[in-house]
Structure 1
Amino acid sequence: MPEPLLRVDNLSVAFDGNPVVESLSLELHAGETLAIVGESGSGKSVSALGLVNLLPANAQVSGERRLNGTLLSSLSKAEWNGVRGNTVGVVFQEPMTSLNPLHRIGKQIGESLRLHQGLRGKEARARAKALLEQVKLPRSDELLDAWPHQLSGGQRQRVMIAMAIANNPSLLIADEPTTALDVTVQQDILSLLKELRDQHGMGLLLISHDLNLVRRHADRVCVMYQGQIQETGPVEQVFRQPQSGYTQSLLAAEPEGRPATVTAKSPLLTVQQLRVSFKRPKPGLFKRQPPAFEAVKATDLTIAPGETLGIVGESGSGKTTLASAIMRLVTSQGDITLGEAHLSKLSGDDLRRQRHRLQMVFQDPYGALSPRMPVFDIVSEGLRFHYPRLSDTEITQRVHQTLNEVDLPESCAARYPHEFSGGQRQRIAVARAIILEPELLVLDEPTSALDRTVQKQLVTLLRELQARRQLSYLFISHDLAVVRAMAHRIMVLKDGDVVEQGACLDVLASPQHPYTKALITAADLSELPR
């Protein structure tokens, strides 16, 4: 075997003396993909950032790290600046926060080219354009002049990859490069990374909690738990014959089971010919107004009491817009009826009086919770608004009861959102919604940013709440494994159109539309338990 591109021996990381990663050892060869998997908090990202000296000042890093035979711990600050972005490229987890919102895409790619290659002006722009084409982004000239917020999640991730490979690095570190992306975009991103790895002969260090993607795209895998390697080896060997108890539990953590059978006959929610359109900006003073963009096109749907309707599709397909229209959060045309209430005809106080009957749990559990309010105030806020006659004692009792129902201790009521994990924050968001005893709960990608073990726990919780309270769910997700475990029926959206719908298991087993087939193929449901 040739000398490894990257060799790590006994890497340990501590923050202010508190160990986070202990005695990590691994090897990565050129042209190989090594995946590090584990739950949030296991030390995956800290290990990768420790490898390239990107941790904050209060971090203590020890152990031997060699890249192309060079002892990295001996490098000066100036030498490190030459290594990062040049010999080592990094693709960070969240491209929107990693890209500077105040600079156009071309300038951000050009910065790395200027620092490491001395390219400026037209030469730098030409190279940046070529990089965007290399990562298969169309209309590269337009994208160079675009702002990060004008790009989709998949496009932003490709821009991050273009920046990471700009100087032909030997080692590419990809930290959760597909989190919160659609299944088809996930496959595109991982296939692109593999293609670039082969073209440039790079070593690829892939950090992920998505076991399906790791199985399909990595050569070897390291399983981490609480800062230590539990198991390492070829991907197929580890997945088929896991030796560690933690690896076995991780592989068994895929969402499974089915929701309870629906017995109700008449619908709770009826939506007829629902349309949502947005005006496009006028291109100029004397130019004709372009036609409106149709985000949702003439959609019909029903949901019975105790039933879950799963809405799936790629980003931009209209899933969240449809849910927002049903919640009366965006302007729409068509009829929306909840029980006997015609929501589409209500406004002002009449609409507000119906709000407690339908509630929404948003995708980002941290962004949806006020960081300035303790959990007690977050959960009780809606209760105080809709039921102003409740006493403080009654409100406290209801809050504690609801927290217990979502498996959170009463003691957490005095704490703030930043003190909780992602799964716990999502439980708080669910508690805030169900304390009003709604009939319909809209769940917009509630598991997208969570580890598989946490996803499984949340799916189990939601099914238990549904059975106990006879709740109806409108469940939006791009994760078909979670949809299969949650939904009775499924509706597939593409470009605002419903291309297929039916019983969940029937659609997943025998899809009729090519788009549905592509989604299911990308999700690779064959490896999951039923």
Structure 2
Amino acid sequence: MPTDPLFELDDISVAFNGRTVVDRLSLSVDTGETLALVGESGSGKTVAALAALNLLPDNAVVSGRRRLAATDLAALSRRQWQTVLGNRIGFIFQEPMTSLNPLHTIGRQLGETLRLHQGIRGEPARQRCLQLLEQVKLPRAAELLKVWPHQLSGGQRQRVMIAMAIANNPQLLVADEPTTALDVTVQQDILALLAELRDQHGMGMLFITHDLNLVRRHADRVCVLHHGEHQETGSIEEVFTRPRSSHTRELLAADPEGRPGPVLSANPLLAARQLAVSFKRPKRLLSRRPPAFEAVAPLDLQVAPGETLGVVGESGSGKTTLALALLRLVSSHGEIDFDGVRLDQLHGEALRRQRKEIQVVFQDPYGSLSPRMPVADIVSEGLRFHHPELSDDEVKQRVRRTLNEVGLPEDVAQRYPHEFSGGQRQRIAVARAIILEPRLIILDEPTSALDRTIQKQLVELLRDLQRRHGISYLFISHDLAVVRAMAHRILVLREGQVVEHGDSEQVLTRPGSDYTRTLIAASSLASDSTP
């Protein structure tokens, strides 16, 4: 005999200032079940969840039925909601660093939710915090109670958020993009942990994501949204093998495809020899300074004209540190040769002149674009610095041409970064880099927080720019499907050491190390043949 669902939304609609962003969405989550709510950025996934839990601002108009077990959520007062959220419903937010208070230790933040909902204080609260950290498989739990959020890695911070969400044994756990920008192996660990905790506590879970690879592996059913409208709901097998909606078929076909074009020359444009980076450790009073931390062990690499070298590895493997060393933004040892010029020997004005040949696109376009500058000024800033002889009209023409080249209309020039989607902001970052006509661009996780459809568009854009201008790329990523579509060769790093280096197809189809095989098994490449 069927039982009532644990959590149910019936014809939920959400509007802001008369504009409907979620239109009559219905879904349900059973006890012990994981329902994935999927769609691109702007599809209304997070808004629907926040509306259901009364977390939207006052200008939002929400209609429809919302129930948690026998409780009518729409009828709760503000005070009643305070006893439900964090107690019967746990919420894991997308970005743990902004969700954790930077001014409080981990122990204090964990203890706060226990004090508010259960009245637990003192030593019993400390013991419960230790138990929670151990439950989410964080080592040295007693030490972690005393540390601050910035001292933890992304995966560790996300585990702390999970511990806070389950602290009061909720009936429903809402996980909003809980693995965005995490390494593939960490993603799998986090989601396996969530499934284990769901089964232990008998929770239902609403898993909000745009990553269909994760949905395929970790959800029981899936609900697809597009522009706030429900497309279809069904079991994983039904939706992935027999999708009814054309939009669902587009999402399933959105993996980056194709391969990079031919390399223009065998002679290296960039060559690093015995490049190494180490950082001094802090010295304690009345003790010797400990040995330096070796972030990147001595390594050699080359990038030819028109070639893409993919650099892969987990967080802490040294990928970004390597890029910063090549850009001369951190101190390093060894040689860095760029087309016959020893970058490691340049300083001051000579180094600044050389920078126009090597540009960078960072992981977070929102954080790297000035919120106070319009797009035209952001894109032209480097051009004005390196080419002061250009007139204002010449600069404007170059900006218009470059925006057109990255697929953005001219009318974006006077708008500001907050007015754009993540994919559009990343195109602005690419425009800022290519307007100087560089010979090498270093791309640091440029697709990590983007939807699969937007990732595919960005990969195609980067390959097209490479074919037309002969640009070389150093492409840093943990997404092996994107790396396969972009890179001619792959360098695998682990804890600052080169684990493997070779032709892209050889590394991905015939890996020579167990570590590379682990990365591949945790990636979407391993799901290509699974239902």
The answer to whether the Cα contact below 8 Å between 2:480 and 2:524 also exists between their aligned partners in 1 is: no
The answer to whether the Cα contact below 8 Å between 2:25 and 2:230 also exists between their aligned partners in 1 is: yes
**What is the TM-score normalised by the length of structure 2?**
0.99
Q: Which amino acid aligns with 1:475?
A: F
Instruction: Measure how far apart 1:19 and its partner are.
Output: 1.0
The answer to whether the Cα contact below 8 Å between 1:197 and 1:203 also exists between their aligned partners in 2 is: yes
C-alpha separation between the residues in 1 aligned to 2:124 and 2:104? 19
C-alpha separation between the residues in 1 aligned to 2:375 and 2:66? 43
2:299 match: 299
C-alpha separation between the residues in 1 aligned to 2:145 and 2:526? 40
Secondary structure of the 1:8 match is strand
Post-superposition CA distance 1:309-354 (Å, at most 9, x none)? 0000000000000000000000000000000111001001111110
Extract unaligned runs of 5+ from structure 2.
Answer: none
Instruction: Measure how far apart 1:288 and its partner are.
Output: 1.0
Please give the residue correspondences for 1:76-475 in structure 2 after superposition, counting only pairs within 5 Å. 76-283=77-284, 285-475=285-475
The answer to whether the Cα contact below 8 Å between 2:264 and 2:470 also exists between their aligned partners in 1 is: no
Instruction: Measure how far apart 1:279 and its partner are.
Output: 0.7
C-alpha separation between the residues in 2 aligned to 1:57 and 1:108? 27
Instruction: Measure how far apart 1:524 and its partner are.
Output: 3.6
Secondary structure of the 2:365 match is coil
Q: Which amino acid aligns with 1:36?
A: L
The answer to whether the Cα contact below 8 Å between 1:271 and 1:300 also exists between their aligned partners in 2 is: yes
C-alpha separation between the residues in 2 aligned to 1:21 and 1:401? 37
C-alpha separation between the residues in 1 aligned to 2:19 and 2:42? 14
C-alpha separation between the residues in 1 aligned to 2:420 and 2:65? 34
Secondary structure of the 1:354 match is helix
C-alpha separation between the residues in 2 aligned to 1:524 and 1:46? 27
The answer to whether the Cα contact below 8 Å between 1:481 and 1:528 also exists between their aligned partners in 2 is: no
Instruction: Measure how far apart 1:512 and its partner are.
Output: 1.2
The answer to whether the Cα contact below 8 Å between 2:481 and 2:524 also exists between their aligned partners in 1 is: no
Instruction: Measure how far apart 1:66 and its partner are.
Output: 1.1
Please give the residue correspondences for 1:507-522 in structure 2 after superposition, counting only pairs within 5 Å. 507-522=507-522
1:10 match: 11
Post-superposition CA distance 1:11-53 (Å, at most 9, x none)? 1111122211111111110000000000000000011111111
Secondary structure of the 2:483 match is helix
What is the number of equivalent residue pairs in this alignment? 528
Instruction: Measure how far apart 1:528 and its partner are.
Output: 4.0
Moved over 4 A (4+): none
**What is the TM-score normalised by the length of structure 1?**
0.99
Post-superposition CA distance 1:468-527 (Å, at most 9, x none)? 000000000000000000000000000000000100111000111111111000004143
Q: Which amino acid aligns with 2:214?
A: L
Extract unaligned runs of 5+ from structure 1.
Answer: none
Q: Which amino acid aligns with 1:361?
A: V
Instruction: Measure how far apart 1:263 and its partner are.
Output: 3.6
Instruction: Measure how far apart 1:123 and its partner are.
Output: 1.1
Post-superposition CA distance 1:156-181 (Å, at most 9, x none)? 00000000000000000000000000
Secondary structure of the 1:516 match is helix
Instruction: Measure how far apart 1:388 and its partner are.
Output: 1.0
C-alpha separation between the residues in 2 aligned to 1:334 and 1:73? 64
Secondary structure of the 1:272 match is strand
C-alpha separation between the residues in 2 aligned to 1:390 and 1:506? 47
Secondary structure of the 2:356 match is helix
Amino-acid identity (%): 69
C-alpha separation between the residues in 2 aligned to 1:404 and 1:18? 30
Secondary structure of the 2:24 match is strand
